[in-house]
Structure 1
Amino acid sequence: MAQSLLLISRQAPWSGPGAREALDIALAGGAFDLPLALLFLDDGVFQLRKDQQAVLLQQKDLAANLQALPLFGVEELYACQRSLVERGLVADQLGLPVSVLDDDALRALLGRFDQVMTI
């Protein structure tokens, strides 16, 4: 059986290549039926904000990649409650359905996976 993987995406969508790389890894892992989940933590929660205007920064929009995650079998999507609150984000501002986890639930999530990768 394949080892399970938790990807933790901590970068804002336009602060560097990390956000896109995390999504690429998730999509590739999902395409190969790797048991994985994606956790948005710290500034990574900004990736979830809907109606981003990437063109203003001359960047490619990540929305299509995010929307493709369930199509590739990546259905376990999580966001850190503390990160959302600290950045002033609420559920109706998010473009993806995610499970919002408090600190205790985050610790439990980390313990469920064989491998944890932070990007």
Structure 2
Amino acid sequence: MQTDDLSAKFSALADPTRRAILARLTEGEASVNDLAQPFAMSLAAVSKHLKVLEKAGLITRGKEAQWRPARLEPMGLKGMAEWLEHYRRYWETSFDRLDAYLSKIQKGDPRGPRN
């Protein structure tokens, strides 16, 4: 995944309205009218949010006459998940070291674990 692509995805998810739209789309495809219902904003504003999500590759839009349902694009999230996985492993390793250190302290050795 290119860095620009990753930046576009994280930028799209920085907005709480867009995150809420994605959460709704996990239940299945929806029209702009359906997606706009929980928000106090115009259909045009919701459409702009959908364009950002579509440009970032997080959703796709159908082309069924007047009805253009939005669908979650699961592969759009895959690259983000892979990028985050590296940091998840780092955090787990750090927490494991902290756990070992705290266990050592609880046993009375203030020097903690030796490497």
Same fold (TM over 0.5): no
The higher-RCO structure (CA 8 Å, 6+ apart) is 1
State which structure, 1 or 2, has the greater radius of gyration over its C-alpha atoms.
2
Name the TM-score, length of structure 2 as normaliser. Answer: 0.31
Name the TM-score, length of structure 1 as normaliser. Answer: 0.30
Q: Which has the larger share of helix?
A: 2
Q: Which has the larger share of strand?
A: 1
